[in-house]
Amino acid sequence: MNPRQVADYMFNQDYFSQWMNIKMIEVKENYCLLEMPIKKDMINGLKTVHGGVTFAFADSALAFSSNSTGDAAVALNCIINFTRAGKEGDVFRAESILVNDTRKTAVYDIKITNQNNDLIAKFVGTVYKIGKKVTEL
């Protein structure tokens, strides 16, 4: 399978990413660009996007990019810095780029922006390569 086919295979089983209404704009080896509209049920008590939603969006980008070769990888450590609050009606984009790759781990930088290209969050995710194919899980 090519990277887009792997991502589609995963997405079809990923009901949470489907609930978030994630759209895959581009998927290639060790990279993805996703888009997600901010819905009313993603808003917290301060009328901004719940941090868990932003984290989950970045985590989905990490998953689709780090598994794009067909070799399964799972999150080992993730760090997020929130830089700006999102609002209902925003459209978030997540771009995940491989920055370091070893035999058993890889590190990805994920940038979350809104429709105005304002930085919403910066996420760094480390994955562990489990030695199985995505389709074996």
> 12-16: long-range contacts at Cβ-Cβ below 8 A with a sequence spacing of 24 or more?
14/60, 14/63, 16/56, 16/60
* pLDDT reported for residue 118: 98
The tens place of each residue's pLDDT in the chain, 137 residues long, gives 999 999 999 999 999 999 999 999 999 999 999 999 999 999 999 999 999 999 999 999 999 999 999 999 999 999 999 999 999 999 999 999 999 999 999 999 999 999 999 999 999 999 999 999 999 99
Reported pTM? 0.98
What's the pLDDT at 96? 98
The predicted pLDDT at position 101 comes to 98
How many CB atoms sit inside 10 A of residue 30's CB? 18
Angstrom distances, CA of residue 64 to CA of 44, 48, 108, 127: 26, 26, 11, 12
> What's the rounded Cα separation, in Å, for the pair 23 and 1?
20
Supply the pLDDT for residue 60: 98
